[in-house]
Structure 1
Amino acid sequence: MVKKLALLFMLSSFVAIGQTKKKPTLESYTSRKGIYELKYNPANWIKNEETTGWDAEFHDKYNLINAYFIEYDYFITEKNLKSTIEEQYKEFGTIANLKIAKKKINDLTVNYYTCELDYNDYLYKYQGFFYSGKGGSIQLQYGAQAEAIEPNQGIIDELNNGLVVIPN
């Protein structure tokens, strides 16, 4: 009986160990002014070493979704949000279904937007946010073909929630 109990205890211990989830090891990107930190899971997001006008660029592990981060040296007012977003996409076409709403990310109230763009007969969806804080405004933006956004919303939210203000 004692041997059976010991065996049962040992088997349950192995099952318990197998069921514990390892917390992912996060990497971080610190903004160029040292005001913001973006913590990300390298199993879901890969930081590109070279950028094309953004401060930092990432893509998901399947290279379907691109994420872009920039820290502006000025403030983007709520009045100028729509024109700023339209300006970013003008060389690719006209955006449609632009929606901007207030949203809480961590303790920050941001102007979150979603929009669509028909480019070379492919429908792309973009989303992201602007936040005006210490030192100017920041933007974090995601873009992908429409089919990739919804199934990957969880990792988009994960990266959004990785943004923190570095305490003084």
Structure 2
Amino acid sequence: MSKKIFLLFLLSGYFAAAQTKNNPKLETYTSRKEIYEIKYNPQHWTKSPQTETWDVEFRDKYNLISAYFIEYDHFIPDKKLKSTIEEQYKEFGEIKNLKIYKKKVNSIEVNYFECELDYNDYLYKYQGFIYSGKGGSIQLQYGAQAEAIERNQKLIDELNNGISIIN
């Protein structure tokens, strides 16, 4: 009987340790207007301490993928989505294969976009979304060389699914 209790104690300790490893401590970024928050795993994403053009920037742990978030003080209408996205990349070159479609991201229906940019003979891929909601529009976008985006889509989805509206 004591051997069974000892074995049960060992197994319960093992399962408790396994649950701790699978449940990482998330950190939270709260937008400047305190309307949105992004919960992220600091083992996968590092929040940059400062940025000049975006509200916050994240980098994956290998520094291959950049994620940028901004909260606009105006609304971006659906008919201006394409021109808004094209304008953001114009200093780097012409974007190609721009696709914009509706998608649910953590229960928020957003205008998701994907595009490519040939810059200095490297193919870069960008994706992200624009959402017009309370207080204006927000944008979260990812950029990296094509290979990094393709190999790390689960990581991008993880950060996307961390965004929510604060009630």
- Measured against the shorter chain, the TM-score band is over 0.9
**What is the aligned partner in structure 2 of residue 19 from structure 1?**
18
Q: Does 1:71 align with 2:71?
A: yes
The sequence identity of aligned pairs, in percent, is 68
Q: TM-score, normalised by structure 1?
A: 0.92
- Greater shift, 43-52 or 20-29, is seen at 20-29
2-structure distance, mates of 1:50, 1:18: 36
1-structure distance, mates of 2:107, 2:53: 28
**What is the aligned partner in structure 2 of residue 149 from structure 1?**
149
Distance 1:39 1:10, change over 3 A: closer
Q: TM-score, normalised by structure 2?
A: 0.92
Q: Which has the larger radius of gyration?
A: 1
Provide the aligned length of Structure 1 versus Structure 2.
Answer: 166
**What is the aligned partner in structure 1 of residue 126 from structure 2?**
126
Matched AA of 1:91: E
Matched AA of 1:19: A
Shift of 1:21: 4.4
2-structure distance, mates of 1:82, 1:132: 15
Deviations 1:119-152 (A, max 9, x none): 0000000000000001110000000000001221
Matched AA of 1:75: F
Q: Which runs of 5+ in 1 are unaligned?
A: none
Q: Which runs of 5+ in 2 are unaligned?
A: none
- Greater shift, 87-96 or 30-39, is seen at 30-39
Shift of 1:15: 4.1
**What is the aligned partner in structure 2 of residue 107 from structure 1?**
107
1-structure distance, mates of 2:60, 2:12: 35
**What is the aligned partner in structure 2 of residue 84 from structure 1?**
84
Residue 20 of structure 1 aligns to a residue whose secondary structure is: helix
2-structure distance, mates of 1:35, 1:10: 45
Distance 1:18 1:144, change over 3 A: same
- Greater shift, 109-118 or 21-30, is seen at 21-30
Distance 1:32 1:18, change over 3 A: closer
Deviations 1:64-85 (A, max 9, x none): 0000000111110110100100
